[in-house]
Chain A
Amino acid sequence: MQSAVDLSRTSLPPKTRRRTHRRVAPWIVTAAVAVSLLALVPLAFIIWIAIQTGWETVSALVFRPRVGELLVNTTLLVLLSVPIAIVLSVALAWLTERSDLPGGRLWAWLCVAPLAIPAFVHSYAWITLVPGLHGLWAGVLVSVIAYFPFLYLPVSAALRRLDPALEDAAAALGLGPWRVFRRVVLPQLRLAICGGSLLVGLHLLAEYGLYVFIRFDTFTTAIVDQFQSTFNGPAANMLAGVLATCCFVLLGIEVLVRGEERYARVGSGAARHQQRMSLGRATVPSLALLVITTLLALGVPFVTIGRWLLAGGAGVWRLDEIGLALGQTLFLSLAGALLATIAAMPMAWISIRAPGPLQRLLEGCNYIVGSLPGVVIALALVTITVRIAQPLYQTLFTILVAYALMFLPRALVSLRASIAQAPVELERAASSLGRRPLNALWSTTIRLSAPGAAAGMALVALGIMNELTATQMLAPNGTRTLAMAFWSYSGEIDYAAAAPYAFIMVAMSLPLTWLLYVQSKRMAGR
């Protein structure tokens, strides 16, 4: 694989490559820069507030014991949850994709399905089951359960499309199965693991509802507390500044670990299908792992929601209220997903086709905005629209922009992975056959990345459906989404009245998750 990279790079004279880029660049670069600058707005807002506040106040607000507590909490949460999620996901992905585990397909689907359950519904279920649950380990438990599919999806997709020839070669050279896995398979999963871990990490930093239920304070919950006390006070913005710095760190780590290897397969013909490995005596423990994961990630929420629905009876199904919330949620999710995907396309393309230091910086902007909690983005947009762009205040447009900004990373990661798989040679061939740049791009890479785009859209729509804080601040008057209604009822400990909303959120997310699952299969040509 390494040699194929070098071969393809050296086979093209540098001049030709540069010209190809120059012809395509201006459109895409302008769009990518515009989106990245827009993505910088919330961060610029925090900095601007910090400057206005003055150093003395800023340092008093940042260097205090409370911030230390939050930093420890947030760091431990990420350091514990992400590695556990990686190990779990790789194990599950290998079992469902590469072993002869009975019911592999069903298990694969069950490993993706927890995504359909909003993180705060996971938490709601756990707090019902174990009322006293709280603190760091509770946070780690529920976080891993709620977010491991973000890792499972890319890892299993990558596993599925590996060319078995490499593994055969390694085995023929005398490596045992474990060493083949470690030296051949695992390195090829690097992009998938890095991308997935970044997504998980960012979600841990930005999640609010999950940690409120189990009383675990992170930067995001503290920012919301400050927001609820002061609306746009400097303390909230300073906490957001520290949180943004945490995100810089995560992003930096991912860039370092990701590397610049090429992962597209080049060669004549198609890759063989892989042989599934026989589990033998390991079948029972392997099945046990899947059963336990499924019970924790799906069993607990479904049983709890069912229990509350039973307890609530027919009285909790206030159909007019629920119907309205459903319609509004659907509309916001789909419109926001479309906007986010369109906005992510240029940067995704550049990050694969023309990576460089400047591009990484720009791409970073997109991730930082996505890592900021919804409130911070919302706060920036509220202040800007209310002061400068009054006609846009509390409009549909503004909230959709907020959604697009918040969920850019989801769209970007999915698009990037699928563009990476579309060989650049096709674009060049199309160009050399006389297609105009945009057209060449359309008929090759964009089409090939359509599954990734669809997967990204589904992920964004899922995110919007479960979004709470930004929606509450930015939505036009009279908006009440499913998440808002759920949160309002569960805040009053009316868990029975909240249950129908949880149920509908899950029921609506399941088809999107299914789509995600099917697309990830299709990407592997199966």
Chain B
Amino acid sequence: MKYALSTLAGATALVVSLIGGPAMAEDDGIVVYNAQHESLAKEWAEGFTKETGIKVTLRNGGDSDFSNQIVAEGAASPADVFLTENSPAMALVEAAGLFAPVDADTLAQVPQDYQPSTGKWVGVAARSTVFAYNKTKLSADKLPKSLLDLADPSWKGRWAASPSGADFQAIVSALLQLKGEAATADWLKAMKTNFTAYKGNSTVMKAVNAGEIEGGVIYHYYYFGDQAKTGENSGNVELHYFKNQDPGAFVSVSGGGVLASSKHQKEAQAFLKWVTGKGGQDVLKNGTSFEYAVGKDAQSNPKLVPLADLQAPKVDAATLNSKKVTDLMTAAGLL
């Protein structure tokens, strides 16, 4: 009995210590739900901490799971700041009324085009849709003129995408806003027959590079990032920009917002201001993310096609409908 009791006591003590045990997160500073690339967010966080002394704890995930998670958490959310790769996730949280208004001087740092009219969140970076293709398998004159062309039977089995990713879903949300529900549903149905699914845009590019498939719909920076490293996954890849206000020329705005439930409003707002200010935007220009800078007077990496030359379609970032997109994609059997 002696042994049994001591074991029982030990087990109880363990369980109790675990309940009240050490939290792994720091209690001071701010918590950022980060759906951006980890390396970029880490650079931002470190730069901000260095300048202000405010500690930043990152929780990494994806756009859609975080936006829905924040809605589920409601007022109890531990997050102070939410950073995304695309706008639909911001729109979802905004629609749930969970964002605090962004400070006016932060909004003033970013042009109107890269923030929603409501001022509930602000653009922190941008990325362009591209058709990445294998230059040995596809010549420039055979490229699709529009994203919509990829629904054509002649493209069957020739292109790839990562439908489960928030990036591709943002592109579909732009298509939905520009062309309407019926056209989008038809396009997705054709896509299901025509395309090959990969998980992650990097994987799509890797497959294109290896010649497993002719081309893929991804964002521009995967190519530049790989070129800056070893180029082993992009040596045979060329980027095709649709331009011409095509849905495929969609420029997606990455957003940042402060949660109304945050108990560190001042620090959270300061973080957003820093990211959209010179410090944060210079990280985009000089770092390895190759995303576009969006701040007024901010420069993007000179290797990129200038944002102004992309002829992107006009899309209202605040009303991109992620819910409708996933419903349509689920109905098309893509999810």
Residue numbers in A under 8 Å from B155 (CB-CB): none
Determine which of A66, A233, A382, A475 lies in contact with B24 in the assembled complex, contact meaning CB atoms within 8 Å: A475
A382/B68 contact (C-beta < 8 A), A492-B202, A493-B206 known = no
Q: Is A393 located at the chain interface by the 8 A CB criterion?
A: yes
Contact A477 B57 (CB under 8 A): yes
Q: How far is the CA of A132 from the CA of B206 in the complex (A)?
A: 10
Determine which of A229, A387, A390, A396 lies in contact with B23 in the assembled complex, contact meaning CB atoms within 8 Å: A396
A228/B62 contact (C-beta < 8 A), A477-B31, A493-B226 known = yes
Residue numbers in A under 8 Å from B60 (CB-CB): 472, 480, 484, 488
Contact A231 B65 (CB under 8 A): yes
Contact A131 B1 (CB under 8 A): no
Residue of B nearest to A387 (CB): B72
Residue of A nearest to B19 (CB): A397
Residue numbers in B under 8 Å from A222 (CB-CB): 335
A328/B335 contact (C-beta < 8 A), A231-B69, A493-B226 known = no
Q: How far is the CA of A395 from the CA of B24 in the complex (A)?
A: 9
A228/B4 contact (C-beta < 8 A), A131-B210, A386-B73, A488-B38 known = no
Contact A228 B165 (CB under 8 A): yes
A 216-252 contacts with B by CB, 8 A? 217, 221-222, 224-233, 235
Determine which of A215, A226, A342, A492 lies in contact with B199 in the assembled complex, contact meaning CB atoms within 8 Å: A215
Q: Is B119 located at the chain interface by the 8 A CB criterion?
A: no
Q: How far is the CA of A373 from the CA of B285 in the complex (A)?
A: 40
Contact A386 B76 (CB under 8 A): yes
Q: How far is the CA of A517 from the CA of B175 in the complex (A)?
A: 56
Binary interface profile of B, 188-200, with partner A (CB < 8 Å = 1, else 0)?
0000000001111
Residue numbers in B under 8 Å from A438 (CB-CB): 1, 4
Q: Is B254 located at the chain interface by the 8 A CB criterion?
A: no
Residue numbers in A under 8 Å from B73 (CB-CB): 386, 393
Residue numbers in B under 8 Å from A328 (CB-CB): 24
Contact A491 B200 (CB under 8 A): yes
Contact B72 A339 (CB under 8 A): no
Contact B64 A228 (CB under 8 A): yes
Q: Is A383 located at the chain interface by the 8 A CB criterion?
A: yes
Contact B210 A477 (CB under 8 A): no
Residue numbers in A under 8 Å from B24 (CB-CB): 328, 396, 475-479
Q: How far is the CA of A226 from the CA of B165 in the complex (A)?
A: 10
Residue numbers in A under 8 Å from B61 (CB-CB): 472
Residue of A nearest to B211 (CB): A132
Determine which of B68, B76, B78 lies in contact with A230 in the assembled complex, contact meaning CB atoms within 8 Å: B68
Residue numbers in B under 8 Å from A131 (CB-CB): 206, 210, 212
A 238-283 contacts with B by CB, 8 A? none
Question: B191 to nearest A CB, angstroms?
Answer: 14
Contact B1 A64 (CB under 8 A): no
Binary interface profile of B, 290-303, with partner A (CB < 8 Å = 1, else 0)?
00000000000000
Residue numbers in A under 8 Å from B225 (CB-CB): 492
Residue numbers in A under 8 Å from B128 (CB-CB): none
Q: Is A99 located at the chain interface by the 8 A CB criterion?
A: no
> Sorted from nearest, which 7 A-B pairs have the closest CB atoms?
A231-B68, A225-B164, A477-B25, A478-B25, A493-B202, A66-B333, A476-B24
Beyond contacts A394-B78, A473-B65, A477-B31: 14 other A-B pairs, Cβ-Cβ < 8 A, are A69-B333, A231-B68, A436-B1, A442-B1, A477-B57, A478-B58, A479-B25, A491-B200, A491-B202, A492-B200, A493-B202, A493-B206, A493-B226, A494-B229
